[in-house]
Amino acid sequence: MTLIVEHWLVLTRFRKAVLWIVLMAVCAGLGWLVLVVPVKQKISDSGAQLHLMRTQWRQQQAYWVQLRQKVTALEALHLCINQPATAFSAQRFTRDAGGQLLAWGMQGDDGKAELSLSLPWEGVLHLFPALAGEPVRLSGFYLQAGENEHVNVKLELEIIDASDNAVGVMGACSGQQ
């Protein structure tokens, strides 16, 4: 150690200044390598990661747009399927209600009809909301206990002119309003 101090003391001022400058440059270079380069690398990696995340986000947005378009198309299809019928069908109504058709008949030319069906007791709850979607008016009904936990239902109906509903239903399903 004393040898280094002796060499230092023997140097001229110019050489001491040069050595100080070289020592400071080496320390600054080492500090740069240890402190700044890793931070710059992290910033660069963060930028690449941000770019990747933006790309993924754009892809997800495009995917969500496609899904939304498919959902909209399916909703439109579902709405067209669930449109009120333009003509009343006793067989279709009985099948949709989950029952069995017992009797169906028109009573005169004034649009009055009588429908008799048998269905489970639970089906009675769904019968009247289903009837609301049909082109008929309910003028009376009778319930009578049947066999095997079934109920016999007699509905007195007035058939509504199907042409009143045809324009609205056909226009909605074909994309027209």
pLDDT over threshold 70, residue 35: yes
Residue 130: CA count within 13 A, CB half-sphere = 17
Q: Given the structure tokens 């609301």, which residue do they identify?
A: 132
**What is the share, in percent, of the chain residues with pLDDT greater than 90?**
25
pLDDT tens digits, 8-27: 788 888 988 999 999 999 99
Q: Residues with Cβ < 8 Å from 99, sequence gap 6 or more?
A: 117, 118, 119, 120, 123, 127, 153
* pLDDT above 60 (res 170): no
Residue 53, pLDDT score: 93
In terms of CATH architecture, what is 90-173? 2-Layer Sandwich (3.30)
Q: Which tens digit of pLDDT belongs to each residue from 98-151? A: 888 999 988 877 778 899 999 988 888 888 888 887 888 888 999 998 777 889
* Banded pLDDT at 86 (limits 50, 70, 90): low
How far is it, in rounded angstroms, from Cα 8 to Cα 23? Answer: 13
Average pLDDT, the chain: 81
pLDDT tops 70 at residue 175:
no
Residue bearing the bigger pLDDT, 174 or 13: 13
Helix (H, G, I), strand (E, B) or coil at 110: coil
Question: Which pLDDT does position 83 carry in this prediction?
Answer: 55
Whether pLDDT at 168 is above 60: no
Angle at the Cα of 130 from the Cα atoms of 143 and 149, rounded to 5 degrees: 40
